[in-house]
Chain A
Amino acid sequence: MLNNPTINSTISLPKTEFDTLLAALRELGYQTIGPRVRDESIIYTHIEKLSDLPQGYTSKQGPATFRLVKSNHRRYFDVIPGAQSWKQFLFPPRTHLFTVEKVERWDIQPNAEKPPRYAFIGVRGCELAAIEIQDRAFLRADFHDPVYRARREGLFILAVNCLHPAGTCFCASMGTGPKVQGGYDLCLTELEDTFLIEIGSELGRDVISRCQYEPASGFLQSAAAKGLERAAGDMGRHLSLDDLPSLLTDNLELEHWDEVGKRCLSCANCTQVCPTCFCWDATDHTDLLAHSTRRERVWDSCFNPQYSYVFGGNTRPTIKSRYRQWLTHKLGAWKEQYDTFGCTGCGRCITWCPVGIDLTEEIAALRKEAQA
């Protein structure tokens, strides 16, 4: 046991001590959120202890398919997560903004609910990169989103290095993983008998100092490094970025846009599972006589025709035009807008598209036609 862990140092936390870590976070006032098995998949929800995690599972992922596989191993963080991302906690799918009531005059009552303080347990490199991309949309110098900021500022992040990427992963192409790139309080690499943990912040240091940890031997650290190197070569997908964004912005009339427009369902699943997509709508719910109106913010999508409806008509009336808008934003205009791509290579849009449209294949097909 060491007395004084330092920021940027790596320690070894016996797996049996993980419950102490979670308890320490709760003592500090955090709700601990992590991956759990539910409904043949993995969701992010409240966890209390290590045994709540999906021990022994992996996931087999491909276009339009996710299968949870029970394996013989005893590791907790091997399963690449399901459709849900951390987005749902920082940018909730449904938020009550305010209520307007007519008593004698109109009275606006903002939602006074105290924002929850979350500790995210098991944030992948691609997911942490996605949170930082949403920061650029919601936490601008000239504007911030109060709902997002309240949740983001109180956030504790325990990140996880990915050692077993899935079939739709391509974080190595996007430079966001499998090794987490920073921005965490603690970052964990799971080895057979222990968790190697890098300390990324003062808060992370405080939490670790409440646990019974051990020094991380050179042997353990090199095992983790080797695992990460292997994982980088195990990506199920690859995306070449060399000619982006111009490949998209210069080729808006390729025939392949028509082809993918025929397959796309415009169901919006890709945008709902995407950890960077941030579109929303505000809807009013009135009582019968409109004496009380409740305004809610809900997730929206550029795939919904109503999203691009402006008075008198729709600027993107076809599925083709909406798919093209989405892809040219993600891997094109986003770069100019936020100085980053809007994709982190998590692969969710490929796995959770009901007809298995694969962004990496669409880019390859567009490139082939553009170069022909």
Chain B
Amino acid sequence: MSGAYKPKVAVYKFSSCDGCQLSLLNLEDELLDLAGAVEIAYFLEATRAEQPGPYDIGIVEGSITTPHEEERITEIRRECKLLIALGTCATAGGIQALRNFTDADRLAENVYPHPEYLHYLTKATPISEHVQVDLEIWGCPVNKYMVLEAIAALLQNRKPNFPPYSVCMECKRRGAVCVLVSQGIPCLGPATQAGCGAICPANGRGCYGCFGPWPGANLESLAPALKDLERYPGEAMRLLRNFAGYAPAFRKAADSIKE
């Protein structure tokens, strides 16, 4: 590949915790290969050196929460051939989208002494609500190997090999005990997109659904079943309104079991 054209990659940050960008930097064993295969042209979390656009691949972390971000994402879309939304903030609004279920102005008044200095949107929204997104990588944070797979697939001109099924598949394959059945813990695993490797259930916690709903999820059946398992009132609704709570399927399910 030496001498061959190296695609230029830009990594952008919007409203987010930086965890997904860090998962890129955490690709310690693969980082040298990655730097050999693509040109990291813009990645402020990693380096101050900037190369001007246009870029072949734009990777966007975070959700759109301010008027300025709304403008900036449109400009970014123009300078990137392919746009990847990285992490559940970028794909579903993230944890800050909890504001979407309440009155954001009232929250601002309660938290800040001078809310008039804030410039925010009343809803935190995914990138795809603003511009066309070519690929979404879900997770809070993302699985770094899925990011690597996405880049490998682009370099090899093929579809990324992402698991197209529920978290239960990964849970059973690793031999973890189902926390829902053995302990009665509400778990979003049956409705959640695989990819994390079932980390939470394997550590005795119910799945928080941070990889978002899988396309075949049957929440009409799961949501009432989770409600029956509640250990305190509203637990199932809060579980659905979590990291990926603004994803349409989770949103609808939470509304359906609201008191």
Contacts and interface: CB of A to CB of B under 8 A. Distances in A.
A206 to B, nearest CB: 31
Contacts of B155: 288-290
26 contacts: A39-B182, A64-B180, A64-B181, A64-B225, A66-B178, A67-B182, A83-B181, A88-B175, A93-B172, A93-B175, A265-B166, A265-B218, A266-B166, A267-B191, A268-B165, A268-B166, A269-B190, A272-B173, A285-B149, A301-B169, A304-B164, A304-B169, A306-B165, A354-B181, A354-B190, A354-B222
Interface string B186-213: 0101110000000000001000000000
B178 to A, nearest CB: 6
B222 A265 contact: yes
A82 B172 CA distance: 12
B164 A306 contact: yes
Interface string B27-51: 0001001100100000000000000
Interface of A: 38-41, 43, 64-68, 82-84, 88, 93-94, 262-269, 272-273, 283-290, 298-299, 301, 304-306, 319, 351-352, 354-355
Contact of A284 (B161, B176, B179): B161
Given A39-B176, A66-B181, 13 more contacts: A43-B177, A64-B180, A83-B172, A265-B190, A266-B166, A269-B168, A284-B161, A287-B33, A301-B165, A305-B165, A354-B181, A354-B225, A355-B221
B102 interface: no
B215 A269 contact: no
Contacts, number: 130
B234 interface: no
B181 to A, nearest CB: 5
Contact of B182 (A68, A265, A299, A319): A68
A66 B29 CA distance: 41
A288 B33 contact: yes
Nearest to A309: B164
A65 B184 contact: yes
Contacts of A265: 166, 190-191, 217-218, 221-222
